[in-house]
Structure 1
Amino acid sequence: MHGYLPDEEHVRRHSLDLDSPAFTAVLRRLRPIGQTLVFGVIEAHAGRYFNAAVVVARGALLGVYRKTHLMPGESVFDAGDAYPAFAMQGVTFGINICSDTQFAEAASAVAAQGARLLLVPAQNVMRWDAARRWKDEHHRIRAVRARETGMWLVSADVTGERDEHRIGYGPTSVINPRGEVVAQVPLQTTGIVIADVC
Protein backbone atom coordinates (compact mmCIF):
# COMPACT_ATOMS: atom_id res chain seq x y z
CA MET A 1 0.00 0.00 0.00
CA HIS A 2 2.89 2.35 0.77
CA GLY A 3 5.45 1.00 -1.65
CA TYR A 4 8.45 -0.83 -0.31
CA LEU A 5 11.49 1.14 0.72
CA PRO A 6 13.27 -0.18 3.84
CA ASP A 7 14.53 3.29 4.72
CA GLU A 8 13.89 4.51 8.27
CA GLU A 9 12.50 7.90 7.23
CA HIS A 10 10.15 6.32 4.65
CA VAL A 11 9.00 3.66 7.14
CA ARG A 12 8.30 6.19 9.92
CA ARG A 13 6.41 8.50 7.55
CA HIS A 14 4.25 5.84 5.87
CA SER A 15 3.68 3.20 8.54
CA LEU A 16 0.19 2.57 9.85
CA ASP A 17 -1.05 1.17 13.11
CA LEU A 18 -3.81 -1.27 12.13
CA ASP A 19 -5.94 0.00 15.04
CA SER A 20 -5.60 3.64 13.98
CA PRO A 21 -8.29 5.94 12.55
CA ALA A 22 -6.16 6.22 9.39
CA PHE A 23 -6.30 2.47 8.73
CA THR A 24 -9.99 2.38 9.71
CA ALA A 25 -10.55 4.96 6.95
CA VAL A 26 -8.76 2.68 4.47
CA LEU A 27 -10.97 -0.25 5.49
CA ARG A 28 -14.09 1.89 5.10
CA ARG A 29 -13.14 2.66 1.49
CA LEU A 30 -12.68 -1.06 0.78
CA ARG A 31 -16.17 -2.11 1.97
CA PRO A 32 -17.76 -2.14 -1.52
CA ILE A 33 -15.15 -4.61 -2.85
CA GLY A 34 -16.54 -8.14 -2.81
CA GLN A 35 -13.25 -10.00 -3.26
CA THR A 36 -10.93 -10.87 -0.38
CA LEU A 37 -7.87 -8.64 -0.59
CA VAL A 38 -4.33 -9.40 0.54
CA PHE A 39 -1.96 -6.46 0.33
CA GLY A 40 1.27 -5.23 1.83
CA VAL A 41 1.54 -2.54 4.47
CA ILE A 42 4.25 -1.03 6.58
CA GLU A 43 2.78 -1.80 9.98
CA ALA A 44 3.54 0.19 13.13
CA HIS A 45 2.76 -1.72 16.32
CA ALA A 46 3.86 -0.96 19.89
CA GLY A 47 6.83 1.13 18.76
CA ARG A 48 8.00 -1.48 16.25
CA TYR A 49 7.73 -1.71 12.46
CA PHE A 50 6.84 -4.76 10.39
CA ASN A 51 6.91 -5.66 6.71
CA ALA A 52 3.38 -7.05 6.75
CA ALA A 53 0.48 -8.25 4.62
CA VAL A 54 -3.13 -7.82 5.69
CA VAL A 55 -6.18 -9.88 4.76
CA VAL A 56 -9.31 -7.76 4.22
CA ALA A 57 -12.84 -8.83 3.28
CA ARG A 58 -15.68 -6.33 2.74
CA GLY A 59 -13.76 -3.67 4.64
CA ALA A 60 -13.05 -5.89 7.66
CA LEU A 61 -9.52 -6.74 8.75
CA LEU A 62 -9.35 -10.54 9.09
CA GLY A 63 -5.72 -10.69 10.11
CA VAL A 64 -2.12 -9.83 9.43
CA TYR A 65 1.04 -11.73 8.58
CA ARG A 66 4.40 -10.21 9.48
CA LYS A 67 7.43 -11.24 7.43
CA THR A 68 9.53 -13.69 9.44
CA HIS A 69 12.76 -13.88 7.43
CA LEU A 70 14.18 -10.40 6.96
CA MET A 71 16.91 -9.58 4.46
CA PRO A 72 20.08 -7.76 5.62
CA GLY A 73 18.75 -4.45 4.23
CA GLU A 74 15.54 -4.70 6.28
CA SER A 75 17.01 -3.83 9.68
CA VAL A 76 14.40 -1.09 10.14
CA PHE A 77 11.80 -3.87 10.58
CA ASP A 78 11.26 -6.42 13.31
CA ALA A 79 10.63 -10.01 12.26
CA GLY A 80 7.26 -11.61 12.76
CA ASP A 81 6.95 -14.87 14.68
CA ALA A 82 3.67 -16.46 13.55
CA TYR A 83 2.16 -18.05 10.46
CA PRO A 84 -1.60 -17.42 10.62
CA ALA A 85 -3.92 -19.36 8.34
CA PHE A 86 -7.17 -17.94 6.97
CA ALA A 87 -10.25 -19.79 5.72
CA MET A 88 -12.35 -18.12 3.03
CA GLN A 89 -15.10 -19.80 1.00
CA GLY A 90 -13.79 -23.28 1.71
CA VAL A 91 -10.13 -22.53 0.98
CA THR A 92 -7.54 -22.29 3.75
CA PHE A 93 -4.53 -20.15 2.88
CA GLY A 94 -1.52 -18.50 4.42
CA ILE A 95 1.08 -15.95 3.43
CA ASN A 96 4.86 -15.82 3.02
CA ILE A 97 6.39 -12.49 2.03
CA CYS A 98 9.12 -12.39 -0.62
CA SER A 99 12.31 -14.00 0.73
CA ASP A 100 10.35 -16.06 3.29
CA THR A 101 10.01 -18.59 0.46
CA GLN A 102 13.74 -19.33 0.68
CA PHE A 103 13.06 -21.06 4.01
CA ALA A 104 11.16 -24.35 3.98
CA GLU A 105 9.80 -23.89 7.50
CA ALA A 106 7.88 -20.74 6.51
CA ALA A 107 5.77 -22.60 3.96
CA SER A 108 5.53 -25.81 6.00
CA ALA A 109 4.15 -23.87 9.00
CA VAL A 110 1.28 -22.73 6.77
CA ALA A 111 0.72 -26.20 5.28
CA ALA A 112 0.67 -27.77 8.78
CA GLN A 113 -2.57 -25.85 9.42
CA GLY A 114 -4.32 -27.54 6.50
CA ALA A 115 -3.73 -24.74 4.01
CA ARG A 116 -4.15 -25.52 0.32
CA LEU A 117 -2.86 -22.17 -0.92
CA LEU A 118 0.21 -20.02 -0.18
CA LEU A 119 0.09 -16.37 -1.20
CA VAL A 120 3.44 -14.66 -1.81
CA PRO A 121 3.49 -10.87 -2.17
CA ALA A 122 7.00 -9.94 -3.28
CA GLN A 123 9.10 -6.97 -4.27
CA ASN A 124 12.15 -8.22 -6.13
CA VAL A 125 13.58 -4.97 -7.40
CA MET A 126 17.35 -5.43 -7.49
CA ARG A 127 20.46 -4.04 -9.08
CA TRP A 128 20.56 -5.03 -12.76
CA ASP A 129 23.16 -7.82 -12.46
CA ALA A 130 21.49 -9.42 -9.45
CA ALA A 131 18.05 -9.12 -11.05
CA ARG A 132 19.23 -10.97 -14.16
CA ARG A 133 20.72 -13.75 -12.02
CA TRP A 134 17.57 -14.09 -9.90
CA LYS A 135 14.81 -13.69 -12.50
CA ASP A 136 14.43 -17.46 -12.99
CA GLU A 137 15.43 -18.43 -9.44
CA HIS A 138 12.19 -17.08 -7.95
CA HIS A 139 10.13 -19.68 -9.82
CA ARG A 140 12.57 -22.45 -8.97
CA ILE A 141 12.44 -21.68 -5.23
CA ARG A 142 8.66 -21.22 -5.19
CA ALA A 143 8.16 -24.48 -7.11
CA VAL A 144 10.20 -26.33 -4.48
CA ARG A 145 7.95 -24.93 -1.73
CA ALA A 146 4.83 -25.98 -3.66
CA ARG A 147 6.11 -29.54 -4.14
CA GLU A 148 7.29 -29.87 -0.52
CA THR A 149 3.98 -28.75 0.95
CA GLY A 150 1.48 -29.89 -1.68
CA MET A 151 0.03 -26.36 -1.74
CA TRP A 152 -0.78 -24.11 -4.66
CA LEU A 153 1.42 -21.01 -4.65
CA VAL A 154 0.31 -17.65 -6.02
CA SER A 155 2.90 -14.88 -6.23
CA ALA A 156 2.38 -11.20 -6.96
CA ASP A 157 5.63 -9.44 -7.75
CA VAL A 158 6.58 -5.98 -8.97
CA THR A 159 8.08 -5.29 -12.35
CA GLY A 160 9.81 -2.42 -14.09
CA GLU A 161 12.75 -0.10 -13.54
CA ARG A 162 12.98 1.78 -10.25
CA ASP A 163 15.87 3.93 -11.46
CA GLU A 164 18.95 3.53 -13.65
CA HIS A 165 20.41 1.03 -11.17
CA ARG A 166 17.47 -1.22 -10.22
CA ILE A 167 14.93 -3.36 -12.03
CA GLY A 168 12.24 -5.88 -11.15
CA TYR A 169 11.42 -8.71 -13.57
CA GLY A 170 8.58 -10.28 -11.58
CA PRO A 171 7.23 -12.97 -11.75
CA THR A 172 3.53 -12.82 -10.92
CA SER A 173 2.34 -16.38 -11.34
CA VAL A 174 0.38 -19.41 -10.18
CA ILE A 175 2.25 -22.65 -9.40
CA ASN A 176 0.42 -25.93 -8.83
CA PRO A 177 1.31 -28.47 -6.10
CA ARG A 178 3.52 -30.35 -8.57
CA GLY A 179 5.67 -27.23 -8.95
CA GLU A 180 4.44 -26.39 -12.46
CA VAL A 181 3.76 -22.81 -13.50
CA VAL A 182 0.17 -22.87 -14.75
CA ALA A 183 -0.28 -19.13 -15.32
CA GLN A 184 2.14 -16.21 -15.44
CA VAL A 185 2.27 -12.56 -16.33
CA PRO A 186 5.17 -12.24 -18.80
CA LEU A 187 8.34 -10.89 -17.18
CA GLN A 188 8.59 -7.09 -17.19
CA THR A 189 4.88 -6.81 -17.94
CA THR A 190 2.13 -5.61 -15.64
CA GLY A 191 -1.05 -7.63 -15.52
CA ILE A 192 -3.03 -10.29 -13.70
CA VAL A 193 -3.36 -14.04 -13.96
CA ILE A 194 -6.44 -16.12 -13.29
CA ALA A 195 -6.37 -19.84 -12.49
CA ASP A 196 -8.69 -22.36 -10.88
CA VAL A 197 -7.13 -23.60 -7.66
CA CYS A 198 -8.51 -26.98 -6.69
Structure 2
Amino acid sequence: MCESATDAVHPRFFKKREIHVKGFKIALIQLAVGPDKAKNVASAVSEIHKAKDKGAQLVALPECFNSPYGTKYFDEYAEEVPSGATCRALSKAAAEAGVCVVGGTVPERCGDKLYNTCTVWDGSGKLLAQHRKMHLFDIDIPNKITFKESEVLSAGDQITTFEYQGVKIGIGICYDLRFPEMAHLMAKQGCSLLVYPGAFNMTTGPKHWELLARARANDEQLWVALVSPARDPDAGYVAWGHSALVDPWANLVAHLDHRPDTLVADLDLSLVEEVRKQIPIRVQRRTDIYDTIHKK
Protein backbone atom coordinates (compact mmCIF):
# COMPACT_ATOMS: atom_id res chain seq x y z
CA MET A 1 0.00 0.00 0.00
CA CYS A 2 1.46 3.37 -1.06
CA GLU A 3 -1.37 5.64 0.03
CA SER A 4 -0.57 7.90 2.97
CA ALA A 5 -2.45 7.20 6.18
CA THR A 6 -1.70 10.76 7.29
CA ASP A 7 -3.86 12.48 9.90
CA ALA A 8 -5.62 9.39 11.00
CA VAL A 9 -8.28 11.39 12.92
CA HIS A 10 -5.61 12.76 14.75
CA PRO A 11 10.66 23.56 35.21
CA ARG A 12 13.69 22.94 34.81
CA PHE A 13 16.26 20.39 33.83
CA PHE A 14 16.21 17.16 35.85
CA LYS A 15 19.11 14.74 35.88
CA LYS A 16 16.82 11.79 36.49
CA ARG A 17 15.40 10.20 33.36
CA GLU A 18 12.09 9.26 34.95
CA ILE A 19 9.87 12.20 35.86
CA HIS A 20 7.23 11.26 38.40
CA VAL A 21 4.32 13.62 37.78
CA LYS A 22 0.76 13.02 36.71
CA GLY A 23 0.14 12.57 33.04
CA PHE A 24 0.84 10.57 29.95
CA LYS A 25 4.00 8.44 30.15
CA ILE A 26 6.25 8.29 27.12
CA ALA A 27 9.58 6.66 26.31
CA LEU A 28 12.12 8.07 23.87
CA ILE A 29 14.47 5.32 22.70
CA GLN A 30 17.92 6.47 21.56
CA LEU A 31 19.07 3.42 19.61
CA ALA A 32 22.45 2.43 18.30
CA VAL A 33 22.01 1.92 14.56
CA GLY A 34 24.33 -0.12 12.36
CA PRO A 35 24.35 -1.70 8.89
CA ASP A 36 22.46 -4.87 9.91
CA LYS A 37 18.77 -4.09 9.36
CA ALA A 38 17.47 -7.19 11.14
CA LYS A 39 19.64 -6.43 14.18
CA ASN A 40 18.46 -2.80 14.22
CA VAL A 41 14.81 -3.84 14.13
CA ALA A 42 15.27 -6.57 16.76
CA SER A 43 16.92 -4.02 19.06
CA ALA A 44 14.02 -1.61 18.59
CA VAL A 45 11.47 -4.32 19.37
CA SER A 46 13.36 -5.34 22.52
CA GLU A 47 13.50 -1.73 23.72
CA ILE A 48 9.78 -1.25 23.07
CA HIS A 49 9.01 -4.11 25.47
CA LYS A 50 11.44 -2.73 28.07
CA ALA A 51 9.73 0.66 27.84
CA LYS A 52 6.38 -0.99 28.39
CA ASP A 53 7.77 -2.62 31.55
CA LYS A 54 8.62 0.91 32.77
CA GLY A 55 5.02 1.99 32.31
CA ALA A 56 5.24 3.77 28.98
CA GLN A 57 2.02 4.32 27.08
CA LEU A 58 3.73 5.74 24.01
CA VAL A 59 7.17 4.68 22.76
CA ALA A 60 9.07 6.67 20.13
CA LEU A 61 12.01 5.54 18.01
CA PRO A 62 14.57 7.71 16.17
CA GLU A 63 14.88 8.73 12.55
CA CYS A 64 16.28 5.97 10.30
CA PHE A 65 16.33 3.43 13.12
CA ASN A 66 16.46 0.43 10.79
CA SER A 67 19.22 1.70 8.48
CA PRO A 68 22.28 3.91 8.42
CA TYR A 69 21.42 7.52 7.60
CA GLY A 70 22.73 8.60 4.22
CA THR A 71 21.56 9.07 0.66
CA LYS A 72 23.57 6.04 -0.50
CA TYR A 73 21.62 3.78 1.89
CA PHE A 74 18.02 4.82 1.28
CA ASP A 75 17.38 2.75 -1.84
CA GLU A 76 19.08 -0.37 -0.46
CA TYR A 77 17.16 -0.33 2.84
CA ALA A 78 13.81 0.89 1.50
CA GLU A 79 10.60 -1.07 2.14
CA GLU A 80 6.97 -0.60 1.29
CA VAL A 81 4.67 0.78 4.00
CA PRO A 82 2.89 -0.88 5.71
CA SER A 83 3.68 -4.26 4.16
CA GLY A 84 7.46 -4.25 4.70
CA ALA A 85 9.24 -6.36 7.28
CA THR A 86 10.03 -3.41 9.55
CA CYS A 87 6.42 -2.28 9.66
CA ARG A 88 5.24 -5.79 10.39
CA ALA A 89 7.70 -6.00 13.29
CA LEU A 90 6.54 -2.65 14.70
CA SER A 91 2.89 -3.62 14.41
CA LYS A 92 3.51 -6.90 16.22
CA ALA A 93 5.60 -5.22 18.95
CA ALA A 94 2.94 -2.55 19.54
CA ALA A 95 0.24 -5.19 19.85
CA GLU A 96 2.24 -7.51 22.11
CA ALA A 97 3.34 -4.67 24.39
CA GLY A 98 -0.01 -2.88 24.24
CA VAL A 99 1.58 0.52 23.60
CA CYS A 100 1.47 3.16 20.92
CA VAL A 101 4.66 3.06 18.86
CA VAL A 102 5.87 6.11 16.96
CA GLY A 103 8.11 4.14 14.64
CA GLY A 104 10.90 6.64 14.07
CA THR A 105 11.45 6.63 10.34
CA VAL A 106 12.26 4.10 7.66
CA PRO A 107 13.16 4.61 4.01
CA GLU A 108 9.86 3.96 2.24
CA ARG A 109 9.53 2.75 -1.33
CA CYS A 110 6.35 3.68 -3.16
CA GLY A 111 6.46 2.95 -6.87
CA ASP A 112 9.53 4.68 -8.27
CA LYS A 113 9.76 7.14 -5.35
CA LEU A 114 11.51 6.98 -1.98
CA TYR A 115 10.35 8.79 1.14
CA ASN A 116 11.62 9.22 4.71
CA THR A 117 8.56 7.96 6.55
CA CYS A 118 7.30 7.69 10.11
CA THR A 119 4.61 5.15 10.93
CA VAL A 120 2.49 5.16 14.10
CA TRP A 121 0.91 2.01 15.55
CA ASP A 122 -1.73 1.78 18.28
CA GLY A 123 -1.82 -0.73 21.14
CA SER A 124 -3.55 -3.30 18.97
CA GLY A 125 -0.98 -3.05 16.18
CA LYS A 126 -3.18 -0.96 13.86
CA LEU A 127 -1.58 1.69 11.68
CA LEU A 128 -2.74 5.02 13.11
CA ALA A 129 -0.77 7.45 10.97
CA GLN A 130 1.94 7.71 8.35
CA HIS A 131 4.05 10.86 7.93
CA ARG A 132 6.39 11.45 5.03
CA LYS A 133 9.09 14.01 5.78
CA MET A 134 7.83 17.27 4.29
CA HIS A 135 11.01 19.36 4.37
CA LEU A 136 14.00 17.59 2.85
CA PHE A 137 17.39 18.10 4.47
CA ASP A 138 19.34 20.01 1.84
CA ILE A 139 22.11 22.11 3.42
CA ASP A 140 25.61 23.28 2.58
CA ILE A 141 27.79 24.62 5.40
CA PRO A 142 31.29 25.09 3.92
CA ASN A 143 33.99 22.99 5.56
CA LYS A 144 31.37 21.49 7.88
CA ILE A 145 28.60 19.49 6.20
CA THR A 146 26.90 19.19 2.84
CA PHE A 147 23.89 16.91 2.57
CA LYS A 148 21.09 16.77 0.03
CA GLU A 149 18.23 14.36 0.73
CA SER A 150 16.48 15.60 -2.40
CA GLU A 151 19.04 13.76 -4.54
CA VAL A 152 17.25 10.54 -3.57
CA LEU A 153 14.10 11.29 -1.59
CA SER A 154 10.75 12.82 -2.47
CA ALA A 155 8.97 15.16 -0.05
CA GLY A 156 5.70 14.41 1.67
CA ASP A 157 2.84 16.87 1.41
CA GLN A 158 0.63 16.25 4.45
CA ILE A 159 0.38 17.55 8.01
CA THR A 160 0.11 14.47 10.26
CA THR A 161 -1.72 14.26 13.58
CA PHE A 162 -3.37 11.40 15.43
CA GLU A 163 -5.13 10.71 18.72
CA TYR A 164 -4.18 8.07 21.27
CA GLN A 165 -5.86 7.59 24.65
CA GLY A 166 -7.43 11.03 24.38
CA VAL A 167 -4.15 12.83 23.58
CA LYS A 168 -3.78 14.59 20.22
CA ILE A 169 -0.23 14.22 18.90
CA GLY A 170 1.55 15.69 15.89
CA ILE A 171 4.46 14.17 13.97
CA GLY A 172 7.36 15.86 12.22
CA ILE A 173 10.68 14.44 11.06
CA CYS A 174 14.04 16.09 11.79
CA TYR A 175 14.30 19.06 9.37
CA ASP A 176 10.52 19.59 9.75
CA LEU A 177 11.41 20.94 13.22
CA ARG A 178 12.81 24.11 11.65
CA PHE A 179 9.45 25.19 10.23
CA PRO A 180 7.18 26.89 12.80
CA GLU A 181 4.25 27.06 10.39
CA MET A 182 3.99 23.28 10.37
CA ALA A 183 4.03 23.13 14.19
CA HIS A 184 1.40 25.87 14.33
CA LEU A 185 -0.95 23.95 12.08
CA MET A 186 -0.59 20.83 14.23
CA ALA A 187 -1.32 22.92 17.34
CA LYS A 188 -4.40 24.38 15.62
CA GLN A 189 -5.59 20.82 15.11
CA GLY A 190 -5.54 20.37 18.89
CA CYS A 191 -2.16 18.78 19.57
CA SER A 192 -0.74 18.78 23.11
CA LEU A 193 2.44 16.96 22.07
CA LEU A 194 4.67 17.08 19.02
CA VAL A 195 7.09 14.21 18.41
CA TYR A 196 10.06 14.67 16.09
CA PRO A 197 12.21 11.64 15.25
CA GLY A 198 15.41 13.27 14.03
CA ALA A 199 19.13 12.90 13.47
CA PHE A 200 20.77 16.31 13.77
CA ASN A 201 24.50 16.20 13.09
CA MET A 202 27.61 17.35 14.91
CA THR A 203 27.43 20.82 13.31
CA THR A 204 23.76 21.70 13.67
CA GLY A 205 23.04 19.56 16.74
CA PRO A 206 25.00 21.59 19.31
CA LYS A 207 23.69 24.85 17.84
CA HIS A 208 20.04 24.21 17.13
CA TRP A 209 18.64 20.86 18.41
CA GLU A 210 17.58 22.03 21.88
CA LEU A 211 16.98 25.60 20.70
CA LEU A 212 14.46 24.55 18.08
CA ALA A 213 12.62 22.20 20.43
CA ARG A 214 12.26 24.97 23.01
CA ALA A 215 11.20 27.41 20.30
CA ARG A 216 8.43 25.13 19.02
CA ALA A 217 7.25 24.43 22.59
CA ASN A 218 7.24 28.15 23.38
CA ASP A 219 5.55 29.11 20.11
CA GLU A 220 2.72 26.64 20.47
CA GLN A 221 2.60 26.13 24.27
CA LEU A 222 2.76 22.35 24.16
CA TRP A 223 5.10 19.43 24.84
CA VAL A 224 7.86 18.66 22.33
CA ALA A 225 9.79 15.37 22.18
CA LEU A 226 12.94 14.84 20.09
CA VAL A 227 14.20 11.31 19.42
CA SER A 228 17.67 10.81 17.96
CA PRO A 229 19.80 7.78 17.17
CA ALA A 230 22.78 7.29 19.46
CA ARG A 231 26.08 8.70 18.22
CA ASP A 232 28.39 6.46 16.24
CA PRO A 233 31.66 8.33 15.61
CA ASP A 234 32.62 5.79 12.94
CA ALA A 235 29.48 6.28 10.86
CA GLY A 236 29.45 8.22 7.61
CA TYR A 237 26.87 10.55 9.14
CA VAL A 238 27.44 11.17 12.86
CA ALA A 239 24.28 11.95 14.85
CA TRP A 240 24.30 14.42 17.74
CA GLY A 241 22.11 12.27 19.99
CA HIS A 242 20.71 14.13 23.01
CA SER A 243 17.08 13.00 22.72
CA ALA A 244 15.07 15.52 24.70
CA LEU A 245 11.76 16.50 26.21
CA VAL A 246 10.57 20.11 26.52
CA ASP A 247 7.47 21.25 28.40
CA PRO A 248 4.91 23.92 27.42
CA TRP A 249 6.85 26.54 29.42
CA ALA A 250 9.79 25.76 27.08
CA ASN A 251 11.80 24.20 29.90
CA LEU A 252 14.16 21.37 29.05
CA VAL A 253 12.65 18.79 31.36
CA ALA A 254 14.97 15.88 30.58
CA HIS A 255 17.48 14.75 28.00
CA LEU A 256 20.00 12.04 27.22
CA ASP A 257 23.64 12.34 26.24
CA HIS A 258 24.96 10.78 23.03
CA ARG A 259 24.99 7.11 24.09
CA PRO A 260 22.29 4.44 23.62
CA ASP A 261 19.67 4.92 26.33
CA THR A 262 15.98 5.44 26.99
CA LEU A 263 14.32 8.53 28.42
CA VAL A 264 11.10 7.76 30.29
CA ALA A 265 8.95 10.66 31.43
CA ASP A 266 5.42 11.41 32.56
CA LEU A 267 3.89 14.36 30.73
CA ASP A 268 1.69 16.62 32.86
CA LEU A 269 -0.76 17.52 30.15
CA SER A 270 -2.53 20.04 32.41
CA LEU A 271 0.48 22.31 31.79
CA VAL A 272 -0.71 22.88 28.24
CA GLU A 273 -3.91 24.63 29.26
CA GLU A 274 -2.19 26.27 32.25
CA VAL A 275 0.30 28.01 29.99
CA ARG A 276 -2.26 28.86 27.34
CA LYS A 277 -4.57 30.40 29.94
CA GLN A 278 -1.86 32.47 31.63
CA ILE A 279 -0.26 33.66 28.37
CA PRO A 280 -3.20 33.67 25.92
CA ILE A 281 -1.35 34.22 22.66
CA ARG A 282 -3.67 31.87 20.80
CA VAL A 283 -6.55 34.35 21.08
CA GLN A 284 -4.31 37.41 20.76
CA ARG A 285 -2.96 36.62 17.30
CA ARG A 286 -3.92 39.33 14.79
CA THR A 287 -5.59 37.03 12.30
CA ASP A 288 -7.20 40.10 10.75
CA ILE A 289 -3.67 41.00 9.56
CA TYR A 290 -1.84 37.65 9.31
CA ASP A 291 -2.58 33.95 9.61
CA THR A 292 -1.16 30.50 8.98
CA ILE A 293 -3.49 28.37 6.92
CA HIS A 294 -3.63 24.73 5.86
CA LYS A 295 -3.93 24.71 2.06
CA LYS A 296 -4.77 21.02 1.66
The answer, yes or no, to whether TM exceeds 0.5 is: yes
1:35 to 94, 99, 112: 99
Q: Residue 111 and residue 11 in structure 1: after superposition, are their counterparts in 2 closer, same or farther (change >3 A)?
A: same
Q: Which structure 2 residues correspond to residues 138-149 of structure 1 after superposition, within 5 A?
A: 138-149=209-220
Deviations 1:34-58 (A, max 9, x none): 1100121111123211111110123
CA distance in 2, matches of 1:70, 1:17: 20
Q: Residue 165 and residue 150 in structure 1: after superposition, are their counterparts in 2 closer, same or farther (change >3 A)?
A: same
CA distance in 1, matches of 2:85, 2:92: 11
Partner of 2:80: 17
Contact 1:85 1:93 in 2 (8 A): yes
Structure-1-length-normalised TM-score? 0.86
- Higher relative contact order, structure no. (Cα contacts within 8 Å, ≥ 6 residues apart): 2
Contact 2:160 2:170 in 1 (8 A): yes
What letter matches 1:14 in structure 2?
Answer: Y
Q: Residue 188 and residue 26 in structure 1: after superposition, are their counterparts in 2 closer, same or farther (change >3 A)?
A: closer
SS of the aligned residue for 1:18 comes to coil
Contact 2:213 2:225 in 1 (8 A): no
Calculate percent identity across the aligned residue pairs. 27
Partner of 1:113: 189
Contact 2:78 2:109 in 1 (8 A): yes
Deviations 1:108-148 (A, max 9, x none): 1211110000001011234xxx26xx314211111011111
Q: For structure 1, which runs of at least 5 residues remain unmatched after alignment?
A: none
More strand by share: 1
CA distance in 2, matches of 1:79, 1:165: 23
CA distance in 2, matches of 1:24, 1:122: 18
Q: Residue 42 and residue 196 in structure 1: after superposition, are their counterparts in 2 closer, same or farther (change >3 A)?
A: same
Greater Rg over alpha carbons, structure: 2
Partner of 1:64: 130
Runs (4+) off by over 4 Å:
none
**RMSD over equivalenced CA pairs, Å:** 2.1
